[in-house]
Amino acid sequence: MALPNPVEFAIPLFGVAIAAELWWMRAKGGIAYEPRDAAASLIMGLGNFTFGLLTVGFVYLTFEWVRQFALFDIGFQWWAFALIFFAEDFCYYWFHRLSHEHRVWWAAHVNHHSSQHYNLSTALRQNWTGTIAFTWICWLPLSLAGFPTELIFFQMGVSLVYQFWIHTEAIGRMPAWFEYVFNTPSHHRVHHATNPKYLDANYAGILIIWDRMLGTLVPEDAAEPCRYGIVKNLGSFNPLKIALHEWAAIFKDVARARTARARFMAFLAPPGWREDGRGSTSADIRRMWQEKQDKPDLPIAAE
């Protein structure tokens, strides 16, 4: 059964929504788009689409190969569409969480966090290297369960389209029941923030329930405005640097590593880990921040 690509159908709506957000920000006297930043995000989105076209065949065949060993024979029944909604979203949560916890996947994902602005154009700042980093293996269990590859890809597209609208400051909070169940602009602003209390939280795709269940939910605090970007901001709008800077840093660390363990950890340790112990992971930064709350005279290191 051939299913449409939701992203292709949504592209015109993306453009309309960006124009509406830009109008709203100017009408409210807020911070308008930074032209170079928005252009970089658009180029990143175009690059992601292009690399996706070049590699989709390989990924599709891999999913089909895994499906040979499926535990069940799931087709396109109505309940399969309902079940894949939850199953794919759970896979997305783990892809997203692992992409923040292991540097090799962070290298593919970090570009999405590299903008210091938070608007709908940021949603288009997608990766170029996710396929070669094999981040898509998080969805292979769906093939092993027996879901058709077309249905898996369709739901992945639905998730991507949903996540577009949550990249905005134009929407404050949704109704309480919606905030409890779904990912929202409020939840996702926290995810993009570099404030120590917000680091590595709210990994949700569509449903925030996984964060609630697994202890990674951090609510947005009106007393703690979000600061966007990454811990060490790039200061560049060059798409090549945005896409590849963390890969370059990894290979630099591998080249100067003194032990085999350090070379291994350069790929699989959390971002911020250093062989000499002088780095700071998100966990380190949060711990130092918490110590600062308990003992205000202590400095916070964020290197």
In a domain, 232, yes or no: no
* Same domain flag for 13 and 141: yes
Cβ-contact 120, 168 below 8 angstroms: yes
Q: What is the pLDDT of residue 276?
A: 82
Q: Sorting pLDDT into bands at 50, 70 and 90, what band is 132?
A: very high
Domain boundary among 179, 208, 227: 179
* Same domain flag for 141 and 273: no
Cβ-contact 159, 191 below 8 angstroms: no
Main-chain phi, psi angles of 228, to 5 degrees: -95, 160
Q: What is the pLDDT of residue 291?
A: 82
In a domain, 259, yes or no: yes
In a domain, 50, yes or no: yes
Q: CA angle, 115 as apex, 231 and 24 as ends, to 5°?
A: 130
* Same domain flag for 19 and 140: yes
Q: How far apart are the first and last CA of the chain?
A: 51
* Same domain flag for 25 and 135: yes
Residue 83, pLDDT above cutoff 60:
yes
Which domain does 111 fall in, by range? Answer: 6-179
Q: Can you give the length of the chain in residues?
A: 303
* Same domain flag for 172 and 245: no
**Helices and strands: H and E segment counts in the chain:** 12, 0
* Same domain flag for 55 and 171: yes
Q: What is the pLDDT of residue 303?
A: 37
Q: pTM score > 0.85 for this model?
A: yes
In a domain, 209, yes or no: no
Token pair for 96: 């997203």
Q: Residue 235: count other Cβ atoms within 10 Å of its Cβ.
A: 8
Give per-residue pLDDT as tens, 250-295: 999 999 999 999 999 999 999 999 888 788 899 999 988 888 777 7
* Same domain flag for 157 and 56: yes
Q: What percent of the chain has pLDDT over 70?
A: 96
Residue 77, pLDDT above cutoff 50:
yes
Give per-residue pLDDT as tens, 213-253: 999 999 999 999 999 999 999 989 999 999 999 999 999 99
In this prediction, residues 19-32 reach a mean pLDDT of 84
* Same domain flag for 88 and 10: yes
Which of the pair, 92 or 32, is modelled with greater confidence? 92
* Same domain flag for 114 and 21: yes
In a domain, 1, yes or no: no
Give per-residue pLDDT as tens, 159-211: 999 999 999 999 999 999 999 999 999 999 999 999 999 999 999 999 999 99
Question: What is the four-CA torsion angle of 112, 114, 115, 121, rounded to 10 degrees?
Answer: -20
In a domain, 193, yes or no: no
* Same domain flag for 137 and 257: no
For the chain, the domain total comes to: 2
* Same domain flag for 29 and 155: yes
* Same domain flag for 169 and 269: no
Cβ-contact 151, 159 below 8 angstroms: no
Q: Sorting pLDDT into bands at 50, 70 and 90, what band is 29?
A: confident
Q: Sorting pLDDT into bands at 50, 70 and 90, what band is 299?
A: low
In a domain, 154, yes or no: yes
Q: What percent of the chain has pLDDT over 90?
A: 87
Give per-residue pLDDT as tens, 93-124: 999 999 999 999 999 999 999 999 999 999 99
In this prediction, residues 41-47 reach a mean pLDDT of 96
In a domain, 225, yes or no: no
